[in-house]
């Protein structure tokens, strides 16, 4: 393993600026690591030749003095982002053979900023899952293992599990993720890295295979808060091609990392301390509160009374939108087609063959909750509750500047665990879903290790479009946590 893969994204950038390394060197080192860590199944599609060609072009740009903010930095792209000329699968068989003739705005922005993509990263099928096990390409594996049982394979979380595993295993300096109910934050926590779901509307959804349009949001996953700040700056921005993207100037997120959080009020929601919350999670949360206090911030107990309704609300809204968004996968214009004697039979056969069980489950739930006679009881009511949840946060942010919670109720679990009942799996996102429903920015950063040696994450939630405060507080916590451990063998 090269020393180059141990740099953070910011360190690598600084070395490139000083001319101490080149994009080609960095890219080669990371491609070697991708090959060395193939057993983690983090990539669905590797594009080393493309990456090296891009790296050469990047070095040329730097020589000409036209380097972008992410110039020459090797990254990975979650395989939910359409990439022009590069197979895009959404980890589903139904998109078999689909090579988009267009580039998603976010991956395009990163390209424009000079980033080098090493390929497309594994995920749960259509981003539906919290373990990466629903991928049609087999699950990505968490590079972390339990001290008590190093042989047991653990999940990297989901849906952006490939992204988290690749960043944690030093295959890339950063990766794009998408987050609908926790799909950036939970895998970041499971893999001991940092990831932020920005405010809904901060990043364009154009060219991202849609799961639940009112919740989907792209964000960066990297090893440090600063890395995420740099990368989000390159990803974000108004896009006239996405009607829900917001026309706001993208701030200099890196500049927000002042280290000064004196006088900031940090909300500690009572509802995030349910009965049966593991002691380890409780402890790491207390530690986080203590770090913030030490740095001069003021913890404030707050109430988010509708929190308990968030999970059921999410599991109505998200599948409803998904059932409609996924109707276009009909085998007619792209992807897998299974012939049938009639149009309906062709639909049924193509979709049955193309979609995995979790996707089918959610399409069925979504179809049900939108059906005549059930719409008011489910979808309409869920939308009302969603507004109440957002209102909880709005009120809380009248008195606090940021909210601190655990990211997930447990550390990474085993590949063969949590398989009996889909609801157990869904509970993984209990702390991240309210933020998604409210459209707020949420960042997860590693705060320590469990007794069994697995990373635990804490989540910081901010006001709409106030990622800067989130980054600032996260930066302080990161320094206090001093999380400098790597998974075995990395």
Partner 1 sequence: MAYLIEGETGTWEIVIGLEVHAQVISNAKLFSGAATTFGAEPNSQVSFVDAGFPGMLPVINAVCVSQAVRTGLGLKAKINLTSVFARKNYFYADLPQGYQISQYDKPIVGEGELILDLADGSTRTVGIERLHLEQDAGKSIHDMHPTKSFIDLNRSGVALMEIVSKPDLRSPEEAGLYLTKLRSILRYLGTCDGNMQEGSMRCDANVSVRPVGSTELRTRCEIKNVNSIRFVQQAIEYEARRHVEVYESGGEIRQETRLFDSGRVETRSMRSKEHAHDYRYFPDPDLLPLVIEQAFVDEIKAGLPELPDEKKARFMAEYGLNAYDAGVLVAEKISAEFFETVAKGRDPKLACNWVMGDFFAALNASGKTIEEPPVTAANLGAMIDLITDGTLSGRLAKDVFALMVETGKAPGVLVEERGLKQVTDTGAIEAAIDAVIAANPDKVQQVRDGKTTLLGWFVGQVMKATQGKANPALVNELLAKKVQG
- Distance, in Å, from the CA atom of 119 to the CA atom of 51, rounded to the nearest integer, reads 8
Nearest to 230 by CA among 256, 248, 203, 253: 253
Residue 101 touching partner 1 (CB under 8 A): yes
* Residues with Cβ within 8 Å of residue 11, at least 6 apart in sequence: none
Q: For CA atoms 154, 157, 158, 164, give the dihedral sign.
A: negative
Asked whether the beta carbons of 307 and 392 are under 8 A apart, the reply is: yes
Task: Establish whether 159 is a catalytic residue.
Answer: yes
Q: Reduce the DSSP state of residue 117 to 3 states and report it.
A: strand
Q: For CA atoms 354, 356, 359, 360, give the dihedral sign.
A: positive
Catalytic residue among 104, 117, 183, 323: 183
Residue 343 touching partner 1 (CB under 8 A): yes
Residue 203 touching partner 1 (CB under 8 A): no
Residue 324 touching partner 1 (CB under 8 A): yes
Task: Establish whether 486 is a catalytic residue.
Answer: no
Site string for partner 1, 161-200 (x = CB under 8 A): ----------------------------------------
Residue 209 touching partner 1 (CB under 8 A): yes
**Among the residue ranges 155-163, 370-378, 426-434, 439-447, the one whose residues contact partner 1 (CB under 8 A):** 370-378
Asked whether the beta carbons of 79 and 123 are under 8 A apart, the reply is: yes
**What tokens appear for 97 in the block?**
């053979």
Could you give the strand order of the β-sheet that contains 265-269, starting from the edge strand earlier in sequence?
43-46, 116-121, 74-78, 174-179, 217-222, 194-197, 442-449, 455-462, 402-406, 265-269, 298-302
Site string for partner 1, 216-255 (x = CB under 8 A): ------------------------xxxxx-----------
Residue 82 touching partner 1 (CB under 8 A): yes
Residue 88 touching partner 1 (CB under 8 A): yes
Supply the minimum distance, in Å, between the C-beta of residue 82 and partner 1.
5
Specify the residue, 209 or 284, whose C-beta has the smaller distance to partner 1: 209
- Distance, in Å, from the CA atom of 81 to the CA atom of 434, rounded to the nearest integer, reads 24
Q: In this structure, how many other beta carbons lie within 10 angstroms of the beta carbon of residue 416?
A: 10
**What tokens appear for 145 in the block?**
């293992």
**Among the residue ranges 112-120, 262-270, 332-340, 469-477, the one whose residues contact partner 1 (CB under 8 A):** 332-340
Specify the residue, 27 or 92, whose C-beta has the smaller distance to partner 1: 92
Residue 379 touching partner 1 (CB under 8 A): yes
**Among the residue ranges 82-90, 127-135, 251-259, 286-294, the one whose residues contact partner 1 (CB under 8 A):** 82-90
Cα dihedral value 257, 258, 260, 266, nearest 10:
-20
Asked whether the beta carbons of 14 and 31 are under 8 A apart, the reply is: no
Residue 333 touching partner 1 (CB under 8 A): yes
DSSP β-ladder status, 442-449 and 116-121: unpaired
Residue 479 touching partner 1 (CB under 8 A): no
Residue 347 touching partner 1 (CB under 8 A): yes
Catalytic residue among 22, 58, 78, 104: 78
Residue 208 touching partner 1 (CB under 8 A): yes
The 3-class secondary structure across 293-338, one letter per residue, is HHCCCEEEEECCCCHHHHHHHHHHHHHHHHHHHHHHCCCCCCCCCC
Q: Choose, by CB under 8 A, the member of 11, 45, 213, 278 that binds partner 1.
A: 213
Q: Choose, by CB under 8 A, the member of 26, 164, 188, 212 that binds partner 1.
A: 212
Residue 315 touching partner 1 (CB under 8 A): no
Q: Choose, by CB under 8 A, the member of 60, 248, 327, 364 that binds partner 1.
A: 327
Task: Establish whether 323 is a catalytic residue.
Answer: no
Supply the minimum distance, in Å, between the C-beta of residue 386 and partner 1.
12
Q: Choose, by CB under 8 A, the member of 118, 123, 173, 210 that binds partner 1.
A: 210
**What tokens appear for 361 in the block?**
């489950």
Residue 414 DSSP code: B
Binders in 109-148 for partner 1, by CB under 8 A: none
How big is the chain, counted in residues? 490
Residues belonging to the active site: 78, 159, 183
Binding site for partner 1 (CB under 8 A): 81-82, 88, 90, 95, 98, 100-102, 104, 205-210, 212-214, 240-244, 320-321, 323-324, 326-328, 330, 332-334, 343-344, 347, 367, 370-372, 375, 379
């Amino acid at each position: 393993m090269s020393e180059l893969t141990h740099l953070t994204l910011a360190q690598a950038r600084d070395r490139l600026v000083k001319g101490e390394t080149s994009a080609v060197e960095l890219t080669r080192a990371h491609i070697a690591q991708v090959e060395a860590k193939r057993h983690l199944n983090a990539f669905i599609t590797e594009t080393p030749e493309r990456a090296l060609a891009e790296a050469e072009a990047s070095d040329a740009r730097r020589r000409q003095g036209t380097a972008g903010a992410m110039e020459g930095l090797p990254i990975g792209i979650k395989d939910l982002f359409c990439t022009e000329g590069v197979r895009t699968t959404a980890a589903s068989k139904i998109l078999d053979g689909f090579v988009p003739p267009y580039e998603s705005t976010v991956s395009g922005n990163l390209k424009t900023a000079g980033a080098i993509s090493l390929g497309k990263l594994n995920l749960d099928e259509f981003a539906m899952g919290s373990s990466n096990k629903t991928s049609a390409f087999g699950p990505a594996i968490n590079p972390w293992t339990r001290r008590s049982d190093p042989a047991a394979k653990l999940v990297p979380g989901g849906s952006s599990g490939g992204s988290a595993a690749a960043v944690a295993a030093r295959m890339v300096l950063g990766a794009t993720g998408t987050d609908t109910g926790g799909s950036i934050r939970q895998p970041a926590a499971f893999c001991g890295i940092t990831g932020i779901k920005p405010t809904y509307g901060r990043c364009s959804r154009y060219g991202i295979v849609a799961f639940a349009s009112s919740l989907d949001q792209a964000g960066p996953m990297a090893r440090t808060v600063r890395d995420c700040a740099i990368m989000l700056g390159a990803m974000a921005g108004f896009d006239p091609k996405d009607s829900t993207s917001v026309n706001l100037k993208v701030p200099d997120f890196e500049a927000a990392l002042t280290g000064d959080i004196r006088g900031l009020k940090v909300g500690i929601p009572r509802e995030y301390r349910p009965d049966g919350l593991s002691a380890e999670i409780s402890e790491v949360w207390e530690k986080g509160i203590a770090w913030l206090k030490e740095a001069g911030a003021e913890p404030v107990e707050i109430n988010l009374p509708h929190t308990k309704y968030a999970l059921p609300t999410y599991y109505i809204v998200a599948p409803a939108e998904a059932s409609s968004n996924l109707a276009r996968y009909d085998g007619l214009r792209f992807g897998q087609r299974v012939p049938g004697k009639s149009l309906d039979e062709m639909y049924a056969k193509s979709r049955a063959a193309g979609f995995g069980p979790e996707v089918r489950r959610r399409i069925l739930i979504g179809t049900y909750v939108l059906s005549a006679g059930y719409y008011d009881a489910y979808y309409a009511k869920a939308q009302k509750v969603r507004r109440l949840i957002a209102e909880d946060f709005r009120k809380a942010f009248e008195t606090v500047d940021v909210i601190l919670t655990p990211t997930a109720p447990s550390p990474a679990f085993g590949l063969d665990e949590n398989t009996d009942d889909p609801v157990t799996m869904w509970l993984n996102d209990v702390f991240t879903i309210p933020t998604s429903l409210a459209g707020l920015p949420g960042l997860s950063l590693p705060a320590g290790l469990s007794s069994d040696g697995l990373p635990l994450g804490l989540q910081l939630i901010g006001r709409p479009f106030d990622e800067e405060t989130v980054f600032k507080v996260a930066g302080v916590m990161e320094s206090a946590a001093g999380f400098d451990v790597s998974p075995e063998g990395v």
